[in-house]
Amino acid sequence: MRRERANALRALAMDAVQRANSGHPGMPMGMADIAELLYSDYLKVAPRQPHWVDRDRLVLSNGHGSMLLYGAAHLAGYALDLDQLKAFRQLGSHTAGHPELNVEIGIETTTGPLGQGLANAVGMALGERLLAAEFNRPEHEIVDHRTWVLLGDGCLMEGISHEACSLAGVLGLGKLICIYDDNGISIDGEVGGWFRDDTPARFQAYGWHVVRDVDGHDSEALRRALDEACADEDRPSLVCARTVIGFGAPNKQGTADTHGAPLGEAEIEAARRELNWPHAPFDVPEDIRRRWDIRDRGDRQVERWDERFAAYGDAYPEQAAEFRRRMDGRLPDDWEASAAGAIEKIAAEMKTQATRKASLGALEAFAPMLPELVGGSADLTGSNCTRHSGSVGVTAKGGGNYVYFGVREFAMGAMLNGLALHGGFIPYGGTFLTFSDYQRNALRMAALMRQPCIFVFTHDSIGLGEDGPTHQPIEHLESLRIIPNMRVWRPCDSVETAVAWREAIERRDGPTSLVLTRQGLPAQARTPGQLADAARGGYVLKQEAAESPDVLLIATGSEVQLAMAAAAELEGEGIAARVVSMPCVYMFMQQDPGYRESVLPAGVRARVAVEAGVPRGWPGITGPHGRVLGISRYGASAPGGELFEHFGFTAEAVAALARETVAEVRGLKSD
């Protein structure tokens, strides 16, 4: 009977892939027995109430096997009908090539980039642990769910699996259970030629609980393995399940041919006979459907949880309300006023300091209001200034709000995504800007999934000095800006830093990168109007001393001070110079045209942009007669101040470019 139910999944997978003429039948056919057992007997989810906060999280890290997830979601009773399976991989369907975040149908994260789903899951399991420690009370376990991961050889070959699983072992994430599809095959063939790790030994060395040598097609053996995994609440578990890729396709099973191409009509016919599955494509008999359907069971589980939560609410009304607020992703009622007050206070201080220090100051101001802020650093806590005084380090037992990620930038990024996806948190994590490359695909996934993660990047230019060109970002600012949905802030002083933090915290629909200096920056004076406009991403920081400007000086971060000094010099010569601080190009571009015109009047064609990074993005703003002062080569090892001089980042150079562009534009007008 179990095999028959699993065969329903196999058939749906091979038929949907065939119909789409594209996709990966091998993995779903190989993991069907595992999925059948998991959904039938273990997974605590409620297809009618898919957003239930205490549901188990299931991550398909080997996302190419998406049809496994779609078929199972369909049969389990999620709102995913047969037409959706027939529209596999077609425009506008919920059944995309790789699973795309959609909690409605049980997809907890977007997967496909191998290894990253696993790291997301480590973040989710951490989220469960932290919330449980914070909110559970004796006799009141309102947070108590598992995180399940299906993963393949590819996930384990990827370096990020080492980063994430090593840390998961340290943190003792006992409710994380991973099932390894050990089929000996990846795209290029039998993995023995490129993947010979002793995987069980590897995970044992991480401090995991490992269940070895499980027959992935024997439900009873699998059940014993999963029971064993569930029983260990102190260590994450890896169940190594030997499977046959493409199980049931008599001529192709066990080979890479089943991995990523339709089986073909003849082989599908043969598989139907082999599996004793006489039904037509997409036809699943009613009795099999009934046994897959877990909707009623899920509803009963939610009902029981609702009762538990009501009892919790009676005993701990404040915590219950706070838990709701956190899981709904709402900021505290007094947030807006408190944040505004904190920023005004920072503005009044007029402190000269590095923006990384200002970032810590903003955290000190905001964190007491926001227990949902969970942060960390990839072993650069002191340099990134990410640990505020209310931080409590997370260890193998219990809760906290500060994670020592170790030197694991990529896993950190993916775990921040997992924390955000889990719900209940605003996660942030720090490293040097230059190492944003190491976590780049996690940034992209945050942007693709529109998760409100905050990526803190310090040491943002040649200004970091003596560590030299390996550590000096050149192309990074611009390369972050080109990620769709990613907001990049590069503040020029303490006030803009606090504003950037506030905007990042308030953003619900995507990630933010905060790009901060190592070196001190002077405080800029602002009127209340300018303070308000800073949140628009670009604003007039220094108004010209004339009716209209002769030249616009546009700068970000540490170069704003150069623009300010250059403007003073130019004004002395009778050139009316306006300084536009543009800490977030993305936000500025989202403003209405009227506002943008008021900051950058179209009639003023003499423009200079200054930024210690590649100039690539700026000509779009400076126009055909403008100038850009940037840097297109790698830096050097020397004190930061000297490097700015050496690479021509001086007020004099900005003023000289301004004179050039003003003269050029005047020449045009007199023609």
Residues 540-569 that bind Mg ion (CB under 5 A): none
The candidate with the shortest Cα–Cα distance to 634, out of 470, 512, 495, is 470
Closer residue to ligand TPP in complex, CB, 258/494: 258
The region of 131-139, 146-154, 210-218, 451-459 touching ligand TPP under the rule CB under 6 A is 146-154
For residues 23 to 42, the per-residue mask of contacts with ligand TPP, x marking binding by CB under 6 A and - elsewhere, is: ---xx---------------
Nearest distance from C-beta of residue 581 to ligand TPP, angstroms: 39
Residues 209-268 that bind ligand TPP (CB under 6 A): 245, 259
Nearest distance from C-beta of residue 409 to ligand TPP, angstroms: 16
Provide the β-strand partners of residue 457. Answer: 431, 515
Query: Does 246 contact Mg ion by CB under 5 A?
Result: no
Q: Which of 16, 59, 165, 185 binds Mg ion (CB under 5 A)?
A: 185
Q: Which residue is nearest to Mg ion (CB)?
A: 153
Residue 507 in tokens? 């953003």
Q: Which of 25, 77, 127, 152 binds ligand TPP (CB under 6 A)?
A: 152
Q: Known catalytic residue: 409?
A: yes
- Can you tell me the distance from the alpha carbon of 418 to that of 128, in angstroms, rounded to the nearest whole number? 10
Strands 512-515 and 487-489, sheet pairing: parallel
Residue 488 in tokens? 């990049």
Check: CB of residue 12 under 8 Å from CB of residue 71.
Answer: yes
Q: Which of 7, 62, 386, 494 binds ligand TPP (CB under 6 A)?
A: 62
- Can you tell me the distance from the alpha carbon of 90 to that of 94, in angstroms, rounded to the nearest whole number? 9
11 binds, among ligand TPP, Mg ion, none (CB under 5 to 8 A by kind): none
- Can you tell me the distance from the alpha carbon of 223 to that of 231, in angstroms, rounded to the nearest whole number? 12
465 binds, among Mg ion, ligand TPP, none (CB under 5 to 8 A by kind): none
- Can you tell me the distance from the alpha carbon of 569 to that of 556, in angstroms, rounded to the nearest whole number? 19
Closer residue to ligand TPP in complex, CB, 157/369: 157
Query: Does 153 contact ligand TPP by CB under 6 A?
Result: yes
Closer residue to ligand TPP in complex, CB, 127/152: 152
> Distance of alpha carbon 646 from its chain centroid, rounded?
37
Catalytic residue among 409, 478, 503, 544: 409
- Can you tell me the distance from the alpha carbon of 95 to that of 110, in angstroms, rounded to the nearest whole number? 12
Q: Is 256 exposed, middle or buried (0-12, 13-18, 19+ CB in 10 A)?
A: buried
The region of 169-177, 180-188, 442-450, 473-481 touching ligand TPP under the rule CB under 6 A is 180-188
Q: What angle do CA 53, 59, 64 make, to 5 degrees?
A: 145
Check: CB of residue 105 under 8 Å from CB of residue 90.
Answer: no
26 binds, among Mg ion, ligand TPP, none (CB under 5 to 8 A by kind): ligand TPP
Q: Which of 153, 257, 460, 493 binds Mg ion (CB under 5 A)?
A: 153
- Can you tell me the distance from the alpha carbon of 488 to that of 605, in angstroms, rounded to the nearest whole number? 26
For residues 96 to 135, the per-residue mask of contacts with ligand TPP, x marking binding by CB under 6 A and - elsewhere, is: ----------------xxx---------------------
How far CA 65 is from CA of 108, 189, 267, 594, in Å, comes to 15, 17, 19, 49
Q: How many residues bind ligand TPP (CB under 6 A)?
A: 20
How far CA 343 is from CA of 228, 362, 369, 428, in Å, comes to 52, 8, 14, 20
Check: CB of residue 488 under 8 Å from CB of residue 309.
Answer: no
Residue 388 in tokens? 């505020």
Q: Which residue is nearest to ligand TPP (CB)?
A: 152
Query: Does 315 contact ligand TPP by CB under 6 A?
Result: no
Residue 441 in tokens? 């695909």
- Can you tell me the distance from the alpha carbon of 165 to that of 333, in angstroms, rounded to the nearest whole number? 38
Query: Does 152 contact Mg ion by CB under 5 A?
Result: yes
Question: In sequence order, what are the residues at sequence separation of 6 or more whose Cβ sits closer than 8 angstroms to the Cβ of residue 448?
Answer: 110, 485
Nearest distance from C-beta of residue 98 to ligand TPP, angstroms: 8
Q: Which of 183, 243, 436, 581 binds Mg ion (CB under 5 A)?
A: 183
Closer residue to Mg ion in complex, CB, 192/624: 192
Nearest distance from C-beta of residue 9 to ligand TPP, angstroms: 15
> Distance of alpha carbon 467 from its chain centroid, rounded?
28
Query: Does 363 contact ligand TPP by CB under 6 A?
Result: no
Catalytic residues: 409
Interface residues toward Mg ion, by CB under 5 A: 152-153, 183, 185-186
Interface residues toward ligand TPP, by CB under 6 A: 26-27, 62, 64-65, 112-114, 152-155, 158, 181, 183, 185-187, 245, 259
